[in-house]
Amino acid sequence: MAVPPRVPRSSPDGSTPVRVLTVAGSDSGGGAGIQADLKTMLALGAHGMSVITAVTAQNSLGVQCAWELPAEAVRAQFRSVADDIGVQAVKTGMLATAELVETVAAQLADLSAPVVVDPVGVSKHGDPLLATEALDAVRTKLLPTATVATPNLDEVAQLTGVRVESEDDQRRAAGAVLAHGPRWALIKGGHLPGGDAVDLLTDGTEEHWLRAPRHRNRHTHGTGCTLAAAIATYLAGGYEVPAAVTAAKEYVTGAIAAGFPLGAGIGPVDHGWLSERT
């Protein structure tokens, strides 16, 4: 298995780590959301920071309850981090409501750092994490701020109406996502059948097909969050988009291979797999 690199320190004397921000929901079970993102950032050598948009009561069986934070609380967390510490890349995940999508998009519009938008719609168990009436704000306000948008196949269908059943469909889906304004689209094929897990990264000109062996492991809670957080970390570390996504795919593939059982349902990917190898 390919071993992805850790990001270089961001100061010449090596004292300051790369700073990456996640704007997402909290997963009390620790496998997805804010918790997955911060573990990923630490594993790859960055300093992770968080803007919490919602709190979920969640475990290996699903999401039992969720509460979104007031827009003012989200804005204040964002300003606290951006105005003092500074961010070198941002990842967005669960944003819950149209008001929070608009609040976050407004903050991102003024930022010069790269942005990875994971347009989280539903959990692996089918629990809604975004109100249906927020989809329009995702299309018109959030996607235009994205350096890379990383929808899974359900999110592609929700956002563009394109149903993906083949690699050709992934190409059509990418075009439909790019029409909403992100610089790059990563159409994740994790939910397609087949021996490999194949994702398409494109900016409409270049095409990169990222292939990894599909692991027959049911403990895949948090795959999408982990991949998007890893991409943001590599972008913060100065990688170009194709190199960042390639390294992030290596990291998530290893984490899926090492996913472990917890509770009675779907366990998490193993964010610590790299340190177990060194």
Ligand X SMILES: Cc1ncc(COP(=O)(O)O)c(N)n1
Binding site for ligand X (CB under 6 A): 24-25, 27, 32-33, 56, 58, 93-94, 120, 123-124, 129, 221-225
* Contact pattern for ligand ATP over residues 148 through 167, marking x by CB under 6 A: ----x---------------
Catalytic residue of the set 150, 188, 189, 226: 188
Catalytic residue of the set 223, 233, 246, 253: 223
Cα–Cα distance for residue pair 142/177, rounded to 1 Å:
12
Q: From ligand ATP, ligand X, none, which one binds at residue 94 (CB under 5 to 8 Å depending on kind)?
A: ligand X
Q: From ligand ATP, ligand X, none, which one binds at residue 148 (CB under 5 to 8 Å depending on kind)?
A: none
Q: State the burial class of residue 138 (Cβ atoms within 10 Å of its Cβ: 0-12, 13-18, 19+).
A: buried
Catalytic residue of the set 92, 189, 225, 246: 225
- CB of residue 127 vs ligand X: minimum separation in angstroms? 7
Q: Helix %, strand %, coil % for the chain, to 5?
A: 40, 20, 40
Q: Around 239, how many Cα atoms within 13 Å sit in the side-chain half-sphere?
A: 23
39 contributes a contact to ligand ATP by CB under 6 A = no
Q: From ligand ATP, ligand X, none, which one binds at residue 25 (CB under 5 to 8 Å depending on kind)?
A: ligand X
Cα–Cα distance for residue pair 202/181, rounded to 1 Å:
13
197 contributes a contact to ligand ATP by CB under 6 A = yes
Q: Other C-beta atoms within 10 Å of 154: how many? A: 14
43 contributes a contact to ligand ATP by CB under 6 A = no
- CB of residue 90 vs ligand X: minimum separation in angstroms? 16
Question: Which of these ranges, 53-61, 103-111, 172-180, 215-223, lies near ligand ATP under the rule CB under 6 A?
Answer: 215-223
Query: Three-class SS of residue 31?
Result: coil
Token reading at 195: 């021996």
Catalytic annotation present for 220: yes
68 contributes a contact to ligand ATP by CB under 6 A = no
Q: From ligand X, ligand ATP, none, which one binds at residue 253 (CB under 5 to 8 Å depending on kind)?
A: ligand ATP
Catalytic annotation present for 222: yes
Cα–Cα distance for residue pair 22/33, rounded to 1 Å:
9
By beta-carbon proximity to ligand ATP, the closer residue of 185 and 252 is 252
224 contributes a contact to ligand ATP by CB under 6 A = yes
Q: Other C-beta atoms within 10 Å of 215: how many? A: 17
Cα–Cα distance for residue pair 71/81, rounded to 1 Å:
16
91 contributes a contact to ligand ATP by CB under 6 A = no
Catalytic annotation present for 124: no
Q: What separation in angstroms does the CA of 40 have from each of 23, 49, 134, 204, 255?
A: 14, 12, 27, 29, 10
Contact between 233 and 17 (Cβ < 8 Å): no
Sole residue written with tokens 């298995």: 1
Catalytic residue of the set 31, 224, 254, 267: 224
Q: Around 101, how many Cα atoms within 13 Å sit in the side-chain half-sphere?
A: 26
What positions carry a catalytic annotation? 188, 220, 222-225
Residues of this chain that interact with ligand ATP (CB under 6 A) are: 32, 124, 152, 188-191, 197, 199, 212, 214-215, 220, 222-225, 227, 249, 252-253, 256
